[in-house]
Amino acid sequence: MPNVSRGALVEYGLSLPPLVLEFEFNPETISRTRSVTITTGNAPGTKGGYDFNYPWETNRVAQGVSVEPEQFSIDILVDATDRMADVNHRAHAVAVEFGIEPDLDTLRAMVEPKTQGPGGVQMLAGLGLGSQRAFARDEYPSVLLLVWGSHVLPVFLTSVQVEEVGHLPSLKPYRANVNLSFQVIEGNNPFFQVERVRRAAGAALNFGSGASSVLGRVFG
């Protein structure tokens, strides 16, 4: 059986203990979306932007253009089969009785609004703390770290779709295909800043691998 990469979602905050979900992650595809909103108003003489002739005019050309945060989705497998079969596994007894129900509960808790309690302990708004209205002033969704390969991305979990494909006699699921959608939290946080540096280094590698020849055709 081929080695399967593993990923993780880790809640980032003061909650004790934090929510953590480790999962098998060997995707055939990852859907990533970066969109740009263009509002040029009545830009004279052109459609879709402002007139320009020289590189130093590009700041003016891009007036009214905003870049939206990156969004992407992945498919993961949540499976308790190995845990159930391995009596030496630390989660064997839990998996035998509950299957992957605790894993799925963790995912659901990651999208539930929470209120910050004493000592930094977060409690689900559904337990009655704070306002009954989701995401009221003192209730917030979890900030998560998506750990995947060399990436550690700060994200909000925006959608969870679960397809349960195997059940115990108790009808608790032990295997499920899960689609997760995220929005990257871009800005002045240490995780995104590291990702930004990594991205710039990757772009520099691409330039050094032959992309510079294109510039010769464009500006030569």
pLDDT single digits (tens) 102-158: 999 999 988 888 765 544 455 554 455 444 554 445 677 889 999 988 889 999 999
Q: Which helix (H) or strand (E) holds 217?
A: helix 212-219
**Bridge partners, residue 184, by sequence:** 155
Beta strands, E only, 134-193? 139-140, 144-148, 151-167, 173-184
pLDDT single digits (tens) 161-206: 999 999 999 999 999 999 999 999 998 999 999 999 998 888 888 7
Are 73 and 156 in contact, with CB atoms under 8 Å apart? no
12 and 118 assigned to the same domain: yes
Segments forming the whole domain that contains residue 200:
187-220
At 68 the three-state DSSP class reads coil
Would you give the distance in Å from CA 76 to the centre of its chain? Answer: 12
Q: Please check whether residue 205 lies inside any domain of the structure.
A: yes
116 and 206 assigned to the same domain: no
Q: Please check whether residue 58 lies inside any domain of the structure.
A: no
131 and 203 assigned to the same domain: no
210 and 180 assigned to the same domain: no
Residue 149's closest CA among 31, 3, 25?
A: 25
93 and 159 assigned to the same domain: yes
pTM score: 0.75
Q: Please check whether residue 60 lies inside any domain of the structure.
A: no
Angle CA(91)–CA(165)–CA(173) in degrees, nearest 5? Answer: 40
How far apart, in whole angstroms, are the C-alpha atoms of residue 73 and residue 161?
Answer: 11
114 and 214 assigned to the same domain: no
pLDDT single digits (tens) 144-156: 999 988 889 999 9
Residue 3 has what pLDDT?
Answer: 62
106 and 126 assigned to the same domain: yes
Cα distances from 121 to residues 11, 12, 114, in angstroms, run 12, 12, 10
